[in-house]
Amino acid sequence: MNSSQPLYLSEQWTTAADPDLAVTTRGAVPPADVTRAVRAIGRVLRRHHLDVPARVRVTAPDDLDQPTVVQANIRMHDTPTRVQVTGPRGFAVTFAVERLDRQISRLVSHESRSWPDPARPPLARVTERRPIVRRKECALLTGTPTEAASVMDAMDYDSYLFTDSQTGEDAVVHWNGSAGIALARQRATIAPAPSADQPLTTHALPVMVRPDPTPTLTEDEASTWLCRSGLAFLFFTDERTGRGKLLYRRYDGDLTVVAPA
């Protein structure tokens, strides 16, 4: 197993046996974890008869007491599919492989994701204001809440920013405990209009519309609100652009903001 030259403190690993399965490491990731990821994820894909490329990222923090973060991305029948988990060094890769196996089985059988998710560490907590360390500008999906929820489910997200095709507003869907899925738009608080080809459920989970309009804030104000209120994420309308943005807390406690491209 050979690594390429480091790029931005990262290394990329592939093998001759699995050339379409690449592992990117960040930080002091033990070589045994890389080997484990390649072999175990390869076995999962073969068991599900998926001959598709896989991209795995393993991030080990400098602090040994902090969890390792593992993310795996594949395309399953032309649908982008992803899992992300955390765990102790030496175990996180195993957790990710098990979650990918369950994710593939669940999506094939159209089963709903359980929530609260026991594999997710609680991110909602009151803290001092944390910095925004990453900004993602994305070409947003324009679609129905059901379509957005399906993407959120397949990509293992807890919340997902999109443009609601029925109102033209930026919106967010997110997991809402055992109640199903919640929808927040920038202004509209009415329920999505039903249609014959787009039912108001995803995997039999109801969609609940949040009754309050989205607040208009600066990024600094949103960061303060999220941290002081103990939220895992916050959907808001950007004061400068008028577009919706999604601010969420990372596993390390710092913040990421997702904005329309």
Task: Tell me what pLDDT residue 1 has.
Answer: 45
How far does CA 25 lie from the centroid of its chain? 19
Query: Positive or negative CA dihedral for 196, 163, 121, 34?
Result: positive
Tokens of 102: 């369950």
Cβ atoms of 36 and 23 within 8 Å: the answer is no
Please give the average pLDDT of every successive group of 10 residues along the chain, which has 261 residues. 41 66 91 91 94 93 86 92 92 95 91 77 89 96 92 94 96 83 91 57 69 94 97 96 97 94 93
Task: Tell me what pLDDT residue 201 has.
Answer: 43
Task: Tell me what pLDDT residue 190 has.
Answer: 82
- Can you give the C-alpha Rg of the chain in angstroms? 19
pTM of the model as a whole: 0.86
Task: Tell me what pLDDT residue 249 has.
Answer: 96
Kind of pairing between the strands at 68-76 and 79-87: antiparallel
Closest CA to 92 of 40, 17, 148, 157: 40
Cβ atoms of 163 and 183 within 8 Å: the answer is no
Task: Tell me what pLDDT residue 3 has.
Answer: 40
Amino acid letter, 170: D
Task: Tell me what pLDDT residue 195 has.
Answer: 53
- The C-alpha atoms of residue 171 and residue 144 are separated, in whole angstroms, by 10
- The C-alpha atoms of residue 235 and residue 212 are separated, in whole angstroms, by 12
Query: Positive or negative CA dihedral for 142, 54, 97, 72?
Result: negative
Amino acid letter, 192: P
- The C-alpha atoms of residue 15 and residue 20 are separated, in whole angstroms, by 9
DSSP 106: H
